[in-house]
Amino acid sequence: MGPRLGRVSLRLYDTQAAAVRDFTPLVPGRVGIYLCGATVQAAPHIGHLRPAVAFDILRRWLERSGLAVTFVRNVTDIDDKILAKAADEGTEWWAHAWRYEREFTAAYNALGIMPPTYEPRATGHVTDMIGLIERIVERGHAYVGRPGNVYFDVRSWPEYGALTHQSLGDLTSGQEGDLDADKRDPRDFALWKAPKPGEPATAAWPTPWGRGRPGWHIECSAMARRYLGDSFDIHGGGLDLRFPHHENEQAQSRAAGLGFAQYWVHNGWVTQAGVKMSKSLGNSLLASTLLASAPPVVLRYALTTGHYRSMIEFSDATLTEAAAAWERLAGFIARAGALVGQPADDHVASHPLPSAFAAEMDEDLGVPGALAVIHETVRRGNSALAEYDRDEARAALIATRAMLGVLGLDPLDRQWAAGGGDPRAAQALSVLVEAELARRAEARAARDFATADSIRDALSAAGVAVSDAPSGAQWALS
């Protein structure tokens, strides 16, 4: 039997506790989750997709357990890299950010990620940030430097380092490369930042301390508070965000008198040859390339198979193996449906889940074990089909679809039905390919033909044929 709706028996690994803890929501029956979203400086790669899938599964499991979830995923649409890259391209910084925000949204849609309850942009919450900074200053945990600069005083907060289990003495250098002379301590971090020479006037806002723009960390503290309140249940993100970003978020929020996050949940990286996916390392696998080379549902399956806290090693075989596993699951569902008929979607969504599956999911989202239960159910279902046992085949069919639905992988969900023919997936592919063609056009205009050719070759390898015409580049699936 499956979980009783409304009950909470989930246990989650909490980074600060360094242990798996029973999950108890602050408000019975309701859960607030804040996930650090994209900094929209460049095109999304597979490393960005990992947390999107991991926390989508957490959300689905909580909702399947009968809890009402408020899910907030922010967009960081102003920071140093966005301003620098926009300047290099000769575009407005906000136009640069919007272009890549659309690409992230397209990739999320293609993978069947549920839309967040709220998706705030940093630039839309400057007044919230200013108010929070004023509160931190008034409480004696921040100070004003030169006009436009406000810093958090880490020595004023004895709990600094608690999230990542570091003492202040372990931290000997500044953060974010920021060693401004007006800091009292190189370990202090910026809450508000004065404009740098050459930055556009549109990238600064008036404050009581002078014109400037927000520090990265204060953005998330202010947006989480706006949509989830002074205290909320879960703050999520990748392992790389633990320090300094999440450590600083917690320090400044609690120094302001807020309870902030009760659980800190972090997902592992996607690695290639043992190295974390990173634009700076040049090993990014772009979402556009991956989504053109394999069905989106196969990519989602590949990102689902590992435990959310583990590293996923991505290689040429990853998608091949995921495709084979997906075909086994989808093939059984198609064959069983042909024999006994497909159950109604609402019946599948409310059907009790196998207890072994629920137990795996409740123990720190044990998706690998949950997938093992699914594959064992399919094995029994295939045996039932071979024996023409309609009752057993129908039971296995409903259970399989119900479990896959929790993982966002039910083949008959409209997102994946008819081979992933959901119009949102087609639109997502179009946005991502058009973005690559725009990059190619920019490279050609700059007479960087090596880059232009490499983009065309990558699209071709992914099954996208590009042809040049007087009106511009055209593309089609080959």
The verdict on 342 and 436 lying in the same domain is no
The verdict on 65 and 200 lying in the same domain is yes
- What pLDDT score does 63 carry? 97
**Averaged over 411-421, what is the pLDDT?**
75
The verdict on 336 and 463 lying in the same domain is no
E-strand stretches of 148-254: 150-152, 189-193, 213-214, 231-238
The verdict on 82 and 45 lying in the same domain is yes
pLDDT tens-digit map of 298-334 = 999 999 999 999 999 998 899 999 999 999 999 999 9
Name residue, tokens 């992988």: 409
With pLDDT > 70 as the criterion, what percentage of the chain qualifies? 92
Q: Which backbone phi and psi does 94 adopt, to 5 degrees?
A: -70, -30
Residue 73, domain member (yes or no): yes
Residue 477 has pLDDT above 80, yes or no: no
**Averaged over 122-127, what is the pLDDT?**
98
Residue 422 has pLDDT above 60, yes or no: no
Residue 3 has pLDDT above 50, yes or no: no
Residues across the chain: 478
Task: Read off the tokens for 438.
Answer: 């725009």
Task: Read off the tokens for 335.
Answer: 């064959």
Reference 399, options 374, 368, 362; nearest CA is 374
Q: Is beta strand 142-144 parallel, antiparallel or unpaired with respect to 68-73?
A: unpaired
CATH of the domain at 219: 3.40.50.620
* Residue 468 belongs to domain spanning: 423-477
Alpha-carbon span 12 to 9, nearest angstrom = 10
Residue 103, domain member (yes or no): yes
Alpha-carbon span 41 to 81, nearest angstrom = 6
Query: Which residues does 278 contact at the CB level (< 8 Å), separation at least 6?
Result: 47, 284
The verdict on 33 and 102 lying in the same domain is yes
Which of 137-141, 281-285, 455-459 is predicted most confidently? 137-141
The verdict on 247 and 332 lying in the same domain is no
Q: Is beta strand 68-73 parallel, antiparallel or unpaired with respect to 30-35?
A: parallel
Residue 21 has pLDDT above 70, yes or no: yes
Query: What DSSP letter does each residue of 225-253 carry, written as one string?
Result: HHHH-SEEEEEEEEGGGIIIIIHHHHHHH
The verdict on 53 and 149 lying in the same domain is yes
Residue 332, domain member (yes or no): yes
Cβ contact 115:71 at 8 Å: no
- What pLDDT score does 424 carry? 56
- What pLDDT score does 475 carry? 78
The verdict on 93 and 209 lying in the same domain is yes
pLDDT tens-digit map of 174-228 = 554 445 779 999 999 999 999 999 999 999 999 999 999 999 999 999 999 999 9
Residue 2 has pLDDT above 70, yes or no: no
Measured CA to CA in angstroms, residue 146 lies from 179, 208, 307 at distances of 13, 12, 47
pLDDT tens-digit map of 339-376 = 999 999 999 999 999 999 999 999 999 999 999 999 99
The verdict on 404 and 439 lying in the same domain is no
- What pLDDT score does 420 carry? 47
- What pLDDT score does 316 carry? 82
The verdict on 195 and 144 lying in the same domain is yes
Query: Which residues does 297 contact at the CB level (< 8 Å), separation at least 6?
Result: 112, 326, 409, 411, 415, 416, 420
* HSE-CB of 7 using CA atoms within 13 angstroms: 7
Across the chain, mean pLDDT equals: 91
> pLDDT band for position 248 (50/70/90)?
very high
Residue 57 has pLDDT above 70, yes or no: yes
Residue 35 has pLDDT above 70, yes or no: yes
Residue 257 has pLDDT above 50, yes or no: yes
- What pLDDT score does 4 carry? 45
Residue 451, domain member (yes or no): yes
Alpha-carbon span 146 to 164, nearest angstrom = 30
Choice among 163-167, 191-195, 358-362, 418-422 with the minimum mean pLDDT: 418-422
Residue 279, domain member (yes or no): no
Reference 375, options 362, 361, 358, 357; nearest CA is 357
Cβ contact 215:192 at 8 Å: yes
Residue 1 has pLDDT above 70, yes or no: no
The verdict on 89 and 159 lying in the same domain is yes
Residue 298, domain member (yes or no): no
CATH of the domain at 323: 1.20.120.640
- What pLDDT score does 335 carry? 94
- What pLDDT score does 471 carry? 63
- What pLDDT score does 177 carry? 47
The verdict on 55 and 146 lying in the same domain is yes
